[in-house]
Structure 1
Amino acid sequence: MQDRTSAADSPRDVPSILDALGANASQKHKANVVRMGIPEQNSLGVPMPVIRSLAKSLGRSNNLAWELWAVQIHEARLLAALVFEPGTLNHAQLNSLLGEVASWDLCDHLCASVFAADPEYPQLIEQWADAEQTYVKRAAFALIATQATHQRSLGQQLIGQWFGLIERCDRDDRAHVKKAVSWALRELGHIDIPTRDRALAVAKGLIETGSNAGRWIGRDASKELADLVFVPGRRRLVSSHSKAAQAAAATAFGK
């Protein structure tokens, strides 16, 4: 669906923003996201590229983001996650947001756009990793995955702590938790060869626990981790089947 909003005529008040979202909604998209496990209740069916485009035109504003969040429409909350001013919310506010999350996509967008900007994010990970609420616990591992992907310098002590948190999840069989745990393990493995080897060892240990969740996480992560290789000029490891890896191999072979 074509985005019907532009920077020139971007709405600035919540009713107009909701009208813009509704103009880009479809029952077909709504049915697709429901099939992915996103609650149908209070969902309009707006594609994420439209929401990103609208967020870009709106800019950052905590006041507007809180107003959008209060509407309790799924897409309005996704938009709010992109409008909050990074690094400006306190932990009480972050916990308040997370406590109202009822879907994996909103959880992950908050992690990437809001939680990752908190200077004390490792404390949030430790706090949330043993939570009972599904999406609070997922947030801990989605945040690990996000930081492992984007942070250029993660200390070995912190990485070791995160591996320990992952190992503690061998008995949690909730789909949206164990998928985030596997995601975190895989993204850590992309950092470099030594960390990949540590991640593979953790995956093997999870498989050997004998629990359903542990086996699933270990096997799911191992498939990607075992295929990761170093390519000169790349900050992170890549799949051996990627174009970059194959080009590097062809260059080395040609030499």
Structure 2
Amino acid sequence: MAGLSPSSSAADIVAHLESVGSEQTLTSMRRVGIRVDKAFGLANPALQGLAKQVGRDQGRALALWRTAIREARVLAIYTAEPRRFTAEEAIAWANDFDSWEIVDMAADLYVEVGLDTLVTEFAEDEREFVRRTAFAMIAGMAVHRKTEPDTTFLALLPLIERHSTDDRNYVRKSVNWALRNIGKRSLGCHGPAVALASKLAASSDKTARWIGRDASAELTSDKTLQRLHRKA
């Protein structure tokens, strides 16, 4: 990371990324389904360290994103400025989503920025990774929005039910993730989430059944119930 600083340009950063990439890391990323056709091979902990070194800069983050290089896009997410990041920019980035990894990290940024109004818009989008973004955002909100009223999350259960029959791998897993995280949030959310999980588990649709059964198993486990009662 020598030579990089808050004044480094997007081009400087990309040149550095290319110089320190690792074929071994690329192999490891392939094993977990991360796209590597436009990647140099740097693990996220290294990128997090680099992000701290160069600091936040919205204009540079947008330039890094435009390179379409995997590591540059991860750094774009890490170094974007939440107070300057707009809904229009979030939508533009979503139009480029082609990897579950990038989706899930960007969803965390969108939650931090407070782009909640995009959840429904993304959920109704037919593209697999854009739809996943909606449910990754819900999953993140359920964990990180500690003071948000339970009603916010209960109001999202119909959206989860509506898309529970989408059998595409990255969608169904994110719908399941969102349902589980809502149910684990509080006792007030737990009952309605379990009720929906039970309803889905009895569905005639294979994908909805899988989502419901998997969510029910976690939400009704002793571990989850004990944790919720400790929090109450």
Same fold, TM exceeding 0.5? yes
Q: Which runs of 5+ in 2 are unaligned?
A: none
Counterparts of 2:203 and 2:229, CA distance in 1: 38
Q: Which runs of 5+ in 1 are unaligned?
A: 237-255
Q: CA deviation at 1:222?
A: 2.0
Counterparts of 1:24 and 1:189, CA distance in 2: 42
User: Deviations 1:87-117 (Å, cap 9, x if unpaired)?
Assistant: 322222110011101101101111112x113
Contact kept in structure 2, 1:81 and 1:109, CA below 8 Å = yes
Residue 128 of structure 1, aligned match among 122, 126, 134: 122
In structure 1, the residue matched to 2:61 is 65
**Paired letter, 1:150:** H
Residue 84 of structure 1, aligned match among 77, 80, 84: 80
- Structure 1 segment 80-159 matched on structure 2, within 5 A: 80-113=76-109, 115-119=110-114, 121-159=115-153
User: Deviations 1:134-182 (Å, cap 9, x if unpaired)?
Assistant: 1110010000011100101222332122111111112100100111111
Counterparts of 2:229 and 2:215, CA distance in 1: 25
Give TM-score scaled by structure 1 length: 0.83
1:24–1:197 CA distance, 2 compared to 1 (3 A): farther
Most deviating of 102-111 and 212-221: 212-221
Contact kept in structure 2, 1:185 and 1:199, CA below 8 Å = yes
Counterparts of 1:177 and 1:30, CA distance in 2: 25
What do you get for the CA RMSD once the two structures are aligned?
Answer: 2.0
- Is it true that 1:200 corresponds to 2:201 in the alignment? no
Contact kept in structure 1, 2:24 and 2:41, CA below 8 Å = yes
Residue 44 of structure 2, aligned match among 40, 48, 51: 48
In structure 1, the residue matched to 2:183 is 189
Residue 11 of structure 2, aligned match among 15, 22, 27: 15
**Paired letter, 2:164:** D
Q: Look up the SS of the partner of 1:154 in the other structure.
A: coil
1:219–1:23 CA distance, 2 compared to 1 (3 A): farther
Counterparts of 2:228 and 2:215, CA distance in 1: 24
- Structure 1 segment 205-224 matched on structure 2, within 5 A: 205-224=199-218
**Paired letter, 2:190:** R
Contact kept in structure 1, 2:150 and 2:189, CA below 8 Å = no
1:181–1:51 CA distance, 2 compared to 1 (3 A): same
Q: CA deviation at 1:233?
A: 10
Q: CA deviation at 1:22?
A: 2.8
Q: Look up the SS of the partner of 2:156 in the other structure.
A: helix
In structure 2, the residue matched to 1:29 is 25
Contact kept in structure 1, 2:194 and 2:219, CA below 8 Å = yes
Aligned length: 228
Q: CA deviation at 1:207?
A: 1.3
Give TM-score scaled by structure 2 length: 0.90
Counterparts of 1:164 and 1:222, CA distance in 2: 17
Q: Look up the SS of the partner of 1:129 in the other structure.
A: helix
1:171–1:232 CA distance, 2 compared to 1 (3 A): closer
Most deviating of 178-187 and 155-164: 155-164
Runs of 4+ in 1 over 6 A off after TM superposition: none
Counterparts of 1:147 and 1:235, CA distance in 2: 18
State the percentage of identical aligned residues. Answer: 30
Contact kept in structure 2, 1:172 and 1:178, CA below 8 Å = yes
In structure 2, the residue matched to 1:249 is none
Q: 1 or 2, which has the higher helix percentage?
A: 2
Counterparts of 1:49 and 1:135, CA distance in 2: 24
